[in-house]
Amino acid sequence: MSTDQFTRPEAFVEARDDLTAIAVSSIPPAERSLIVQLLARSFVQAYARALLEKQPRTLADWVDRMCDAHADVPAVPRLFEGACRSLEAFMERRVSEGQREQLQAIERMVCQVVHRPRVGLPTASESLDETDAAINSLVMRLERVDPLTAEHSRAVAAWCARLARRLALSERETLHIARCGMLHDVGKIATPVDILHAPRNLTTGEWVIMREHAIAGEQLVLNSTLTLDYGAAVRSHHERLDGRGYPDGMHAREIPLAVRIVTVADCFNAMIGRRPYRPTMPPGLALEELANHSGTQFDPEVVKAMREIVRKR
């Protein structure tokens, strides 16, 4: 990495695998859980943004939120403290004196926040079965990072259940699809909040990071035997019938019904829900948007079911 790359944010995305390996090097391999690895990748990007924009406080605030969200994972604060020192040591010979001072300011702020006392996540309610407890744990973790996304996930789960029943699916299928909706955005646990809530169009590099939440979420749910059945929906909820979605560019015949339902529920609730970058959309207009993209982005039968549900309310 050369000095001029500090003026090109996309270069950090291109080199992120190498920099992530450096960031996580202080954590023993046995403690490099999936959460730790995901946070290491996101830390590299957040670190780069703090350096490029000369805003170390932004990084420190993000680290603070991550330490709160993962207070039950002792390796997380050690990851951030070690990553700062490892990246600073790696970069100090490649930067100017002024940038070296920025690196030191970042380390000081991060070290301050990682040593704050934390309260661990509450245990799941005993009334939940093991699968719901595992799902609830992930959603609570997401809520600590970004309450708005957790709120959206719960609403999507409710819409999924309504759609499944409207489509005359069994209660077992309905429960499965509702759980898919609850988990669909769990990969945003490691997405920087300033990207999630950017009040503007995202840059190319930021879109790369944003889209990673689908694969990151799949990795999280596949990490437990209790949630692995939901991996396909979490990975594929941004696929489109016309093959222009991500991450795999799947076409209509390849996309399971559960995924098609989650996609419609997700997009509809995103349009009518609270967003920092735009006002809420009336349900009628949101239905029009679904109809405009029916057959290309959305399954026509699922769109029809959503229209019938909303108009009966």
The one-digit pLDDT tens for each residue of the chain (313 residues) are 444 444 455 555 566 678 888 888 889 888 888 788 888 888 888 888 888 888 888 888 889 888 888 887 888 999 999 988 888 888 776 667 777 787 888 888 998 999 988 876 655 444 457 888 899 889 989 998 888 899 999 999 999 999 999 999 998 899 999 999 999 999 999 888 888 887 777 888 888 889 999 999 999 999 989 999 999 999 999 999 999 999 999 999 899 999 999 999 999 999 998 766 667 889 999 999 999 999 999 999 999 999 999 987 6
Q: What are the residue ranges spanned by the domains of the chain?
A: 3-114, 130-312
Amino acid at 272: I
* Whether the model pTM is above 0.85: no
Which CATH code is given to the segment(s) 130-312? 1.10.3210.10
The span from the CA of 280 to the CA of 260, in Å, is 23
Q: Alpha-carbon distance 200 to 223, whole Å? A: 34
Positions marked catalytic: 188
Give pLDDT, residue 21: 87
Which residues fall within 8 angstroms of residue 216, CB to CB, at 6 or more apart?
Answer: 38, 187, 189, 190, 191
pLDDT of residue 202: 82
Provide the pLDDT for residue 95: 64
